[in-house]
Chain A
Amino acid sequence: AQSVAQPEDQVNVAEGNPLTVKCTYSVSGNPYLFWYVQYPNRGLQFLLKYITGDNLVKGSYGFEAEFNKSQTSFHLKKPSALVSDSALYFCAVRDRDNFNKFYFGSGTKLNVKP
């Protein structure tokens, strides 16, 4: 079955430190990969995506993500966390063989402490 896993419900990091939010997927073929952020009582905002090419993708607000095909992972990273980065983060996958199919992880709550 197709699935996306975010193994950590919550990640805590101090402001100024690097952060990583993990995502692994089990989707056949070579899917398209996305990261979204959600602030309280808001919809999801797109951060970045991997389509093809360079495995390191840069996105909004200084975030980047590394695609690893052998490990089927797409971890979200930022070199220096800000308190304002505290939010809920979702990893998502779009099936290349069926464009209507999007699979979402369960979300990871990022807490950045001053």
Chain B
Amino acid sequence: DVKVTQSSRYLVKRTGEKVFLECVQDMDHENMFWYRQDPGLGLRLIYFSYDVKMKEKGDIPEGYSVSREKKERFSLILESASTNQTSMYLCASTNWTSGTEQFFGPGTRLTVL
């Protein structure tokens, strides 16, 4: 059974802390994505990666960075967490085959106090 896992389901951090969210997929997918989900705003793309060490900014990259050192792992980093980064964070992966859907992880609900 294919799987995308995220390192934490719930996370509470303080303002100014550095936060790491990790995502691992076991499907050998080239493409990986980080979204945040907020009520009424749907899913907004933060960053995506199309290969190891390759990344592109999405729609809302400010305040975030990413790392992809291995094909199966894609990390989202909040350099200095702020309260407006309290949100649900979703990781997804897919491959280059054109009709393939995205596979999503269970999500991390991050609260920044």
Q: Which residues of A contact B (CB under 8 A)?
A: 9, 32, 34, 36, 41-46, 49, 51, 90, 92, 94, 96, 99-100, 102, 104-107
CB of B98 within 8 A of CB of A32, answer yes
The 9 closest A-B pairs by CB, nearest first: A43-B104, A106-B42, A51-B99, A44-B104, A104-B43, A43-B106, A43-B107, A46-B101, A43-B105
Contacting residues, chain A, for B107 (C-beta < 8 A): 41-43
CB of A41 within 8 A of CB of B109, answer yes
Give the interface residue-count category, chain B. 20 to 34
CB of A106 within 8 A of CB of B106, answer no
Contacting residues, chain A, for B42 (C-beta < 8 A): 90, 104-107
CB of A45 within 8 A of CB of B99, answer no
Contacting residues, chain A, for B102 (C-beta < 8 A): 34, 44, 46, 92, 102
- What is the predominant secondary structure among interface residues of chain B facing chain A? strand
Contacting residues, chain B, for A32 (C-beta < 8 A): 98-99
Task: Using A9-B40, A106-B40 as known contacts, list a sample of 20 further A-B pairs with CB atoms less than 8 Å apart, ordered by residue number in A.
Answer: A32-B98, A34-B102, A36-B104, A41-B109, A42-B106, A43-B4, A43-B90, A43-B104, A43-B107, A44-B90, A46-B102, A94-B98, A94-B101, A96-B98, A99-B98, A100-B50, A100-B56, A104-B42, A105-B42, A107-B42
Provide the bound-state CA to CA distance between A102 and B102, in Å: 9
**Closest chain A residue, CB of each to CB of B90:** A43
CB of B41 within 8 A of CB of A106, answer yes
Contacting residues, chain A, for B25 (C-beta < 8 A): none
Provide the bound-state CA to CA distance between A107 and B98, in Å: 23
Provide the bound-state CA to CA distance between A92 and B103, in Å: 13
CB distance from A35 to the nearest CB of B (A): 10
